[in-house]
Amino acid sequence: MGNRSRGFTPVIRAILALVALLAAGPSRTADASAKVLGSLVQIEVQANPLDLVSPWQGTGVETGYGSGVILDGRRILTAAHVVADAVGIEVKREGTTKQYTASVQWIAHECDLAVLTVEDRSFFEGSSSLAIGDTPRLEDAVKVYGFPIGGDSVSVTSGIVSRVEISHYSHSWRQLLLVQIDAAINRGNSGGPVVSADGRLAGIAFQLIESAENVGYMIPAEVVNHFLRDIEDNGRYDGFPTLGVAGQAVTNDGLRKAYGLGSEQAGFLVTGINHGGSVHGVVQPEDVILAVDGTAVTEDLTMPHERLGRVQLEYLVQMKQVGEEMELTLLREGEAITRTVRLNNEPALVPGTYHESRGSYFIVGGLVFQPLTLDFLLNVPSSDDEDWFPGNLEYYALYKDRRTPRRNQVIVLSKVLSAAVNRGYGEWTNRIVDSVQGEVPRDMEHLVGIVEGSKEPLLKIVADSGDVLVLDLARAREEGEGILERHGVPADRSRDLL
């Protein structure tokens, strides 16, 4: 059969083509929208958050809500903070009323993502799975789907991408790639899909600025893909690698001359190295990093990205998987050298929130010891002066945040459970422990070893302020069980220290 439009003029053919496009457009849009709706999940969570000041107990069960999206393989993707500390999770699909019990299969607090599973396969009958697309560019149009608090029906808001950068994830306080959008994101939207114009998943809605109007953030597709590849490659979550260095951009002319940078060179001066980090034993203090995997360091420590514009240089590190290698070009004593490092995710001296050390504690004679984490710092009671944190905790968290051969954790004497054996020490709260029996406690496990291995009659603890606490160790051991019972503490230590 011949082409009936072959004899039409170019103008008529163009009009016919436009009519055909307009006719197909609404149908395609409807199909894409139906696919997204068929993948939407409403999540109800019963959670019992940890009491960070008394880590042997929770703060009480509370109900929260969030959203999720079905991916291939019968997986529900959502935000980690939606299901954090969950003791029960119920899910239902958009447009349905039946609730199903779900469980957390994978959770990555670092990038605020989690994968849920539902054992009852009937939950997925008639559903669709959403394909993951690309991280959207600046000014790209997006739609946010979810179930904000205040109703059971789905909410859809539209907006554009207004910023792409590496910045803080409020759940973990880790700095990773995120995307700012002007589509409204409300409580309950968290974990829901942000969809590009092509109908694919551009990211996951996860935080907002409450003091600003229509300023929301999403976890971009690149971070989602990194998380999914991570949990698939070796059956565990390894996280996002870091170089484990501290330093400064070399921009001042005097500083450039001092370290031998040429007129066309820029660099990053290494001023500190995290013990056990990726570059430990390879890079030295006062090395200048000139390039990362062949990408030259710029004065503002950014790099060009073919889709996203300019992003921070650490993007190159974060998009690799733990265990992969990276090549660094260094300037050492005026000579350019190349070194290869294997990337790891060794935590800082003071790790972020929801770290594996969260909830760790040890009690002797009513003295409660905990590792310092950002989670603890953000929840510790402070004085009336909001800029002051007891025990110099903020200084360690923000300015002295590097592991050393002597210290893998900062140990805090967080509180004193009142007892006769510790009379006079009631004000010893939130003190950083400098030494125990003359030794610097490397970490919580080492602290327990020092105390339990001591043959001395007295336990001597020195705070970083220089204050000294001395306890009758034999008496503390004898009265320990009674102290715990009176204060309702189930054990003298957390499970990780058993």
User: Is 122 contained in some domain?
Assistant: yes
- Same domain for 154 and 74, yes or no, is yes
Instruction: Please state the rounded mean pLDDT for residues 327-345.
Output: 96
- Same domain for 53 and 142, yes or no, is yes
Range of the domain at 110: 39-240
Amino acid identity at 109 = H
- Which of the listed residues 342, 373, 408 is the one where a domain comes to its end? 342
Identify whether 81 is a catalytic site residue: yes
Catalytic residue among 127, 155, 190, 360: 190
Which pLDDT does position 356 carry in this prediction? Answer: 82
- Same domain for 226 and 147, yes or no, is yes
Kindly report the CATH number assigned to the domain that includes residue 440: 3.20.190.20
- Same domain for 152 and 24, yes or no, is no
User: Is 382 buried (19+), middle (13-18) or exposed (0-12) by CB count in 10 A?
Assistant: middle
Which CB contacts under 8 angstroms, 24+ apart, belong to 221-225? 221/132, 221/133, 221/134, 221/135, 222/134, 222/135, 222/177, 222/319, 223/111, 223/113, 223/176, 223/177, 223/178, 224/77, 224/113, 224/132, 225/132
Which of the four pLDDT bands, split at 50, 70 and 90, describes residue 341? very high
- Same domain for 129 and 165, yes or no, is yes
- Same domain for 217 and 251, yes or no, is no
User: Is 404 contained in some domain?
Assistant: yes
Which pLDDT does position 375 carry in this prediction? Answer: 87
CA dihedral 144, 147, 149, 152 (to 10 degrees): 150
- Which of the listed residues 181, 205, 240 is the one where a domain comes to its end? 240
- Same domain for 6 and 69, yes or no, is no
User: Is 353 contained in some domain?
Assistant: no
Catalytic residue among 39, 54, 112, 140: 112
Residue 391 predicted with pLDDT over 70: no
Which pLDDT does position 73 carry in this prediction? Answer: 94
pLDDT digits (tens, 9 = 90+) for 167-184: 999 898 899 999 999 887
Which pLDDT does position 153 carry in this prediction? Answer: 85
Which pLDDT does position 377 carry in this prediction? Answer: 85
User: Is 357 contained in some domain?
Assistant: no
Which of the four pLDDT bands, split at 50, 70 and 90, describes residue 30? low
Q: What angle do CA 50, 51, 55 make, to 5 degrees?
A: 85
- Which of the listed residues 216, 240, 264 is the one where a domain comes to its end? 240
User: Is 356 contained in some domain?
Assistant: no
- Same domain for 280 and 226, yes or no, is no
Kindly report the CATH number assigned to the domain that includes residue 311: 2.30.42.10
- Same domain for 472 and 323, yes or no, is no
Which pLDDT does position 213 carry in this prediction? Answer: 62
Instruction: Please state the rounded mean pLDDT for residues 119-142.
Output: 95
Catalytic residue among 39, 81, 172, 278: 81
- Same domain for 120 and 232, yes or no, is yes
- Same domain for 410 and 367, yes or no, is yes
User: Is 354 contained in some domain?
Assistant: no
For the entire predicted model, the pTM comes to 0.88
Domain count, the chain: 4
User: Is 222 contained in some domain?
Assistant: yes
User: Is 355 contained in some domain?
Assistant: no
- Same domain for 33 and 43, yes or no, is no
